[in-house]
Amino acid sequence: MMGFNMLADLTNKGRIGLLLFLAILISLPFWSSSYIISVATITLYLAILGQSWNLMLGFAGLLSLGHALFVGVSAYLAAYLFSVLGLPPVIGIFPAVLLAILMGMLIGYLGFRFSIGGVYFALLTIAFAELVRISVDHMAVIGGTEGLFLQVSEGDRKGVDLINLRGHPWMFYYLAMVLAFLTLAGCRSLLKSKLGYYWQAIRDDQDAAQALGINVFRYKMYAVIYSSGIAGVAGVFYAFYQNSLFPESVFGIERSIEVSLGPIVGGVGSLFGPVLGAFILTPLGEGLTELIDFLKSSGIIDPKSKLNGLKLLIWGLVVALIVLFKPRGIWPWLNDKLGFCRKESD
């Protein structure tokens, strides 16, 4: 696999860093709590989505604010096929991801055909996500606002059943890790392929790219197809990990923004940025919750005070500070300081 050439990008220092990082990730379940495993699983899941989102904006220059749509349609279809028709997700993933890709192609086709650019394209993605959210609200067959649930028995939580995606939290954790790694490797080989260079040309100057004979419409479509496909795979994982899907919590615009935050904080356009971003933001959010609980239980803050919103208030502040002071993202800055990568492609 070309993706494994990733090691060639790294300096010795970077290889040691990666090795250390992998060692911590792989050994994590053996020395931490179930709570930390669940946070780490969500972090890895968001790293996959961050990679998918970054493929569109960072590689091809297409701003999507509706990524929850691709995740959601795939999650819903796979869950529906499993719970109603008994189709295992190993098979269900194909129609589910196909649906996500079709959604992407529809938006891409409509947007690029009429050369809707920049902010307008982003709003088109929001509009579709909202339209689907409201439609799902009204689809009784997949639960509507009541939600769609997957059956979990006590026994399911103990075993490992990769065909039906029922199993121990460790299984989901390692599955997320493998998927995150495959996504990273896949995105790297895409970025270094001819396609990747076409994308970067379009991102940097669409008119010039077109003048050089690049079929801009086609390659933008490819970017949307790959991106929505990855998001679709993540959606199937999400459905079977969460076991419950609600239109608001799956398709809501907050979900789409959440997807975009990791790569932006980590560094748009870089390969490791989305991963780093996910590993900064998710633990930060969880850590703030823990900190507030700790301060309450130790009496520093009045335990009775309602602090709804304090966590997200601080979290918004951190994001704003990153935009103001590290607008290229954390990874490029960190890499300059520590020299993990041989000149990250810019």
Cβ distance 99 to 229 under 8 Å? no
Smallest distance from other proteins to CB 296, Å? 15
Smallest distance from other proteins to CB 100, Å? 19
Exposure string of 46-68, with b = 16+ CB inside 10 Å and e = fewer, is bbbbbbbbbbbbbbbbbbbbbbb
Q: Identify residues 45-104 at the interface with other proteins (CB under 8 A).
A: 57, 63, 65
Q: Which helix (H) or strand (E) holds 306?
A: none
Alpha helices for the chain (secondary structure H) = 6-9, 12-31, 34-54, 60, 67-85, 89-113, 118-137, 169-192, 194-204, 206-211, 216-242, 247-251, 253-266, 273-297, 310-325, 330-338
Sequence-distant (≥ 6) Cβ neighbours of residue 289 within 8 angstroms:
311
Q: Which helix (H) or strand (E) holds 166?
A: strand 166-167
Among 20, 90, 119, 208, indicate the residue that binds other proteins (CB under 8 A). 119
The verdict on 134 binding other proteins (CB under 8 A) reads: yes
Sequence-distant (≥ 6) Cβ neighbours of residue 265 within 8 angstroms:
277, 280, 281, 319, 322, 329, 330
Count of CB atoms situated within 10 Å of the CB of 306: 7
Among 110, 160, 208, 291, indicate the residue that binds other proteins (CB under 8 A). 110
Q: In this chain, which stretch among 21-29, 159-167, 193-201, 314-322 interacts with other proteins, using CB under 8 A? A: 314-322
Smallest distance from other proteins to CB 214, Å? 19
Among 36, 37, 105, 116, indicate the residue that binds other proteins (CB under 8 A). 116
| Residue 57 or 103 having the CB closest to other proteins | 57
Q: Identify residues 240-279 at the interface with other proteins (CB under 8 A).
A: 253-254, 257, 260-261, 264, 268
The verdict on 308 binding other proteins (CB under 8 A) reads: yes
The verdict on 122 binding other proteins (CB under 8 A) reads: yes
Count of CB atoms situated within 10 Å of the CB of 177: 19
Binding mask 185-224 for other proteins (x = CB under 8 A): ----------------------------------------
Smallest distance from other proteins to CB 199, Å? 16
End-to-end CA distance of the chain: 23
Q: In this chain, which stretch among 189-197, 209-217, 305-313, 337-345 interacts with other proteins, using CB under 8 A? A: 305-313
Cα distance between residue 200 and residue 206, in whole Å: 9
Among 8, 30, 86, 138, indicate the residue that binds other proteins (CB under 8 A). 138
- Using CB under 8 A, list all residues that contact other proteins: 57, 63, 65, 110-111, 114, 116-120, 122-124, 126-128, 130-131, 134-135, 137-138, 253-254, 257, 260-261, 264, 268, 306-313, 315-317, 319-320, 323-324, 327
